[in-house]
Amino acid sequence: MPENGLSHPSAVAYPTTPEEVAILVRAAGACGLAVVSRSGGHNYAGFSSGAFGGEIADKRHTNGENDRFEKEQSAMQGEGNGVLVIDLSSFNNIKFDEATGDGTEIVTIGAGCRLGRVATVLAEKGRALPHGVCPTVSIGGHAAHGGHGLSSRKWGLTMDRIVSHEVVLSDGTISNVPVSSSSKEGQADLGPLSWALRGAGPSFGVITSYTLRTFPMPPVAVHFDYWFSPVGASLAADAMIAYQDWIPWVPGEIGLAFMFMTGEGDGTIQYKLTGQYLGPRVALDAIVSPFLKTLQRLGISVTTESKTQEFPPDLRGFNVGQNDQTEGPIWSSDSFYAKSLAIFDKKEDLLTREQALALTSYLKADPSLRKTVWFVMLDNWGGVDSAISSVPSQNTASNTRENLYAFQMFVRPEDRRPPFTSDGVQFLKGMCDAIINARRDLSTWRYGGVANYVDPELSREEAQQMYYGKEKLVKLREVKRRFDPGNVFRYPHSILPA
């Protein structure tokens, strides 16, 4: 779990029913407390644990070095006397709707249920959902901000499978919010709230459970790694552009990430293509072959590792050394900083070779490589056969439907322990800046971010522009004014009422 924030909430509550959540929300509102919900505690910035600003920003605030955070912290204190964290770990039930279809198509999952358990229980019924690969992440925050995983190009984001939400609103009302704009006569129109919950959920209520439509489990999946020989910055940039040119055309059954990571020797960088294919190995080879041939023409050699297994694959296979607990307290933690940068699929918004070279040159040159463990992932989202891209952008609040791929940049100390130094933050910011500053048409270039990879160094305005975009933010603020006019559900990146 992240250990990136100094968490000092006024109180942490552990309810076991929606009714208890409602009592807590009403009490917090009466006391002027901010309310945040914690389903699994994996929020990269620690916001779900009441660590507003995070450990790094807290230190800078003490030293008077971060005026932006100082102003936001003052604003947060002005909104209330503290923070109530509502821990949803007891909301971990998984219940199938036996009255629908064969009794396994529709499932209700508590917000505190971890993805490893979700995958296991659904597989026992021959069903599956699209979601991420970290087994200890809970579905609550994961689905609320999207929920991307290796099967998402085939089945969509986790939030695309939501049928309805059970949510406690700011006045303590427990509401079942269906994913539909229609409402019965005499009932309030919850369509705008349903839209906002799918992408910005924690700003609008405490989601206690989701009802989702599952898929039949595929019979086989191939987990693969293609390792490439270490190369210089120029060839690495060529490989990145080759990946960008290839991924729009791959079938939806394949989920991909092109990765750069710390090499075994000083100043070296390792590269690999990793992912999952929902089908037989022989078909995977045919899909990947054009990309591998392009790299070989560039002079890059390839070593293949793959494992064919029944679906779902063991999530630990994607998270070597990671805790795989699906229930009970998690005592392990991690200290890190992460950023995201989404590359849109329009031709004019694609990464240029100059940008790719700026990044690979930076990674080769920066001396911080020797002090930290880091990786850069280029996760494939879009393409002509992507279920993510097939959903109209206006259907959900998140600003991800145009993503062709998204950078996830991650750095941590070798021992994973705090304190996390400002050198690591600057190293990662330098990665992002290298890409952005190398853009010639920067004033018109469009790019985004991924809310599941929240960045505490961004201001509220910067984060919301990247995660939602200007037009959606206007609508989100109107929905906030209607359903949480007192701004009960608030944290540094939360939506403010209009």
CATH of the domain at 310: 3.40.462.20
Work out the pLDDT band at 220, boundaries 50, 70, 90. Answer: confident
Query: Does the bond joining 419 to the residue before it have cis omega, within 30 degrees of 0?
Result: yes
Based on DSSP, count helices (H) and strands (E) in the chain, helices before strands.
14, 18
Q: Looking at 181, 216, 251, which one is the last position of a domain? A: 216
- Is pLDDT above 60 for 60? no
What CATH number is given to the structural domain containing 142? 3.30.465.10
More confident residue, 310 or 467: 467
**Is the CB of residue 405 less than 8 Å from the CB of residue 244?**
yes
* pLDDT for 331: 54
Work out the pLDDT band at 128, boundaries 50, 70, 90. Answer: very high
399 with 331, same domain? yes
* Residue 182 belongs to a domain: yes
H or E stretch at 213: strand 206-213
* Rounded CA separation 209/168 (Å): 10
Q: Looking at 216, 238, 261, which one is the last position of a domain? A: 216
- Is pLDDT above 80 for 78? no
**Is the CB of residue 141 less than 8 Å from the CB of residue 158?**
no
pLDDT average, residue stretch 429-437 = 96
* Residue 4 belongs to a domain: no
377 with 231, same domain? yes
* Rounded CA separation 273/256 (Å): 7
* Average pLDDT of the chain to the nearest whole number: 85
66 with 163, same domain? no
* Residue 157 belongs to a domain: yes
- Is pLDDT above 80 for 307? no
Q: What is the DSSP letter of 369?
A: G
* pLDDT for 48: 86
Work out the pLDDT band at 268, boundaries 50, 70, 90. Answer: low
Pairing of strands 11-13, 83-87: parallel
Burial class (CB in 10 A: 0-12, 13-18, 19+), 98: exposed
* Residue 68 belongs to a domain: yes
* pLDDT for 407: 98
- Is pLDDT above 70 for 315? no
**Is the CB of residue 274 less than 8 Å from the CB of residue 224?**
yes
306 with 452, same domain? yes
H or E stretch at 166: strand 162-168
pLDDT average, residue stretch 252-264 = 88
Lowest pLDDT segment from 21-25, 219-223, 250-254: 219-223
351 with 447, same domain? yes
| Rounded percentage of the chain residues whose pLDDT exceeds 70 | 83
The total of structural domains in the chain comes to 3
pLDDT average, residue stretch 404-420 = 86
* pLDDT for 175: 96
373 with 332, same domain? yes
Q: What is the DSSP letter of 320?
A: T
Domain enclosing residue 22, as ranges: 11-88
* Residue 417 belongs to a domain: yes
230 with 309, same domain? yes
157 with 283, same domain? no
36 with 98, same domain? no
* pLDDT for 59: 28
Burial class (CB in 10 A: 0-12, 13-18, 19+), 225: middle
Q: Looking at 162, 186, 216, which one is the last position of a domain? A: 216
* Residue 496 belongs to a domain: no
76 with 167, same domain? no
User: Which tokens hold the place of 17?
Assistant: 């029913």
Work out the pLDDT band at 72, boundaries 50, 70, 90. Answer: very low
Task: Please tell me the total number of residues recorded for the chain in this structure.
Answer: 498
52 with 137, same domain? no
137 with 75, same domain? no
* SS3 state at 481: helix
H or E stretch at 25: helix 18-31
* pLDDT for 414: 78
* Residue 485 belongs to a domain: no
Q: Which amino acid is at 271?
A: Y
* Residue 6 belongs to a domain: no
